[in-house]
């Protein structure tokens, strides 16, 4: 290795036929301008992990607790929660790599971490897309046969299987590389594609991931929710025209409910775009960076975009779980019933304490008289 910077190492590749090439560090970074920055990144990653874990576990538990909440949409929401949890479990490992700099978790974790992250990201994105399709079918009734829970489970299994197969190249080509660093050596978890003179494998993979993993799902989401909003507006105008004799209170209540629906649908699309676009942009920039050997993208950009995507795993239980009316009613009922039980137990304990005091003081009072 002849040269080194904060996010890239330069070396000689014999395995894939590249010769002199660059290796992007992805999870590691060296020569930091501020020594406290790795710890700040680690705190953010751990916070996102804990928030995602608690929110998704709670939503999953409330959905699966009662049979009445086990609908097609809720099965999809449970699958989304599982993908969110698995996606966020990589955060502590990445936090460790940001602090240590050198990769200390071994070659197997290096391969599996990136592989699982991409699988879960794809399942999350396409589960949200399938939920929008299910809502579209429910409203427009374009199919004579409605989607059944059995069909939903089959689609979930197929989705996971396709994701496992699609990202096998990442598990194959992400490897642990060791480089001299001052008086010692460091390890980085990096990606190097095979050198093929006919086709650029990395370019084809990146284009396919961006189209199938982001552009197509975003197009389906926008189409479905735009059509739903359009039909909703049309039906709302018809109802408001008929309901001229309704009371002002009922009209106001309906307008508030309608506003919430519109806000939620727009929020779903906007958050999908804002939280997933950065990671795809960085992935494309890394591909362009590697092709031109410009070495301008920092691992901080990759980690920052990953944190934004992790934010989606944090908000999903609120967007899809808690905003679901049945689940929301169940959660509110659960919270209030616990508060009621705590209040009753507190009153009972106070009564028991008072009774014990009376029992103690009773004999002494009678003896004195």
Which CATH number is 259's domain given?
1.20.1070.10
The answer to the question of residue 21 being in a domain is no
What contacts 124, CB < 8 A, 6 or more positions away? 80, 83, 84, 87, 312, 313, 316
Does some domain include residue 167?
Answer: yes
CB-count exposure of residue 202 (10 Å: 0-12, 13-18, 19+): buried
Question: Would 250 be classed as within a structural domain?
Answer: yes
**Inside any domain, residue 94:** no
Cβ–Cβ under 8 Å, residues 99 and 39: yes
- pLDDT of the residue at 3: 38
Q: Check residue 294 and give its pLDDT.
A: 62
Host domain of residue 211: 38-89+106-171+196-328
| The pTM of the whole model exceeds 0.85 | no
CB-side neighbour CA atoms (13 Å) of 210: 16
Is 29 inside a domain boundary? no
Please give the Cα distance from 155 to 185 (Å, whole number).
47
Whether 351 is covered by a domain: the verdict is no
Q: Is residue 45 part of a domain?
A: yes
CB 149 within 8 A of CB 140: no
Angle, to 10 degrees, between the axis of helix 106-140 and the axis of helix 91-100? 140
Q: How many domains does the chain have?
A: 1
List per-residue pLDDT tens for the chain, 369 residues long.
Answer: 333 457 888 888 888 888 888 889 999 988 888 889 999 999 999 999 999 999 999 888 888 876 666 688 888 999 999 999 999 999 999 999 999 989 999 999 999 999 999 999 999 999 999 999 888 888 877 555 677 888 889 999 999 999 999 999 999 999 999 988 878 889 999 998 988 777 888 889 999 999 999 999 999 999 999 988 888 777 766 655 555 555 555 555 555 665 666 778 888 899 999 999 999 999 888 887 766 666 678 899 999 999 999 999 999 988 887 666 666 566 566 655 655 555 555 555 555 565 555 555 554 444 443
Indicate whether 362 belongs to any domain: no
Contact 70, 64 (CB under 8 A): yes
């Amino acid at each position: 290795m002849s040269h080194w910077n904060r996010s890239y190492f330069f070396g000689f590749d014999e395995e894939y036929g590249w010769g002199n090439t660059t290796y992007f560090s992805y999870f590691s970074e060296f020569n930091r301008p501020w020594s406290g920055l790795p710890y700040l990144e680690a705190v953010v990653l751990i916070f996102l992990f804990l928030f995602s874990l608690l929110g998704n576990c709670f939503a999953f538990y409330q959905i699966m607790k009662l049979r009445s909440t086990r609908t097609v949409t809720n099965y999809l929401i449970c699958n989304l929660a599982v993908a969110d949890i698995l996606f966020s479990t990589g955060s502590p490992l990445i936090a460790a790599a940001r602090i240590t700099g050198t990769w200390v978790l071994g070659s197997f974790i290096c391969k599996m971490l990136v592989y699982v992250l991409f699988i879960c990201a794809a399942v999350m994105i396409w589960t949200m897309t399938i939920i929008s399709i299910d809502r579209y079918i429910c409203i427009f009734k374009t199919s004579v046969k409605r989607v059944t829970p059995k069909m939903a489970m089959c689609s979930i299994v197929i989705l996971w299987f396709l994701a496992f197969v699609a990202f096998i190249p990442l598990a194959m080509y992400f490897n642990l590389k060791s480089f001299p660093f001052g008086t010692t050596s460091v390890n980085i978890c990096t990606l190097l594609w095979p050198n093929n003179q006919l086709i650029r494998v990395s370019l084809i993979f990146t284009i396919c991931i961006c189209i199938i993993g982001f552009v197509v799902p975003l197009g389906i989401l926008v189409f479905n929710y735009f059509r739903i909003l359009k039909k909703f507006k049309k039906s709302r105008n018809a109802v408001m025209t008929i309901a001229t004799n309704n009371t002002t209170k009922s009209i106001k209540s309906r307008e508030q409910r309608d506003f919430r629906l519109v806000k939620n649908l727009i929020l779903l699309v906007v958050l999908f775009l804002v939280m997933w676009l950065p990671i795809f942009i960085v992935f494309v920039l890394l591909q362009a960076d590697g092709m031109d050997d410009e070495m301008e993208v920092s691992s901080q950009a990759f980690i920052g975009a990953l944190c934004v995507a992790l934010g989606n795993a944090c908000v999903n239980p609120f967007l899809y779980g808690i905003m679901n009316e049945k689940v929301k009613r169940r959660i509110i009922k659960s919270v209030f019933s616990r508060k009621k039980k705590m209040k009753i137990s507190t009153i009972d304990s106070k009564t028991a304490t008072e009774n014990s005091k009376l029992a103690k003081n009773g004999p002494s009072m009678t003896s004195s008289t």
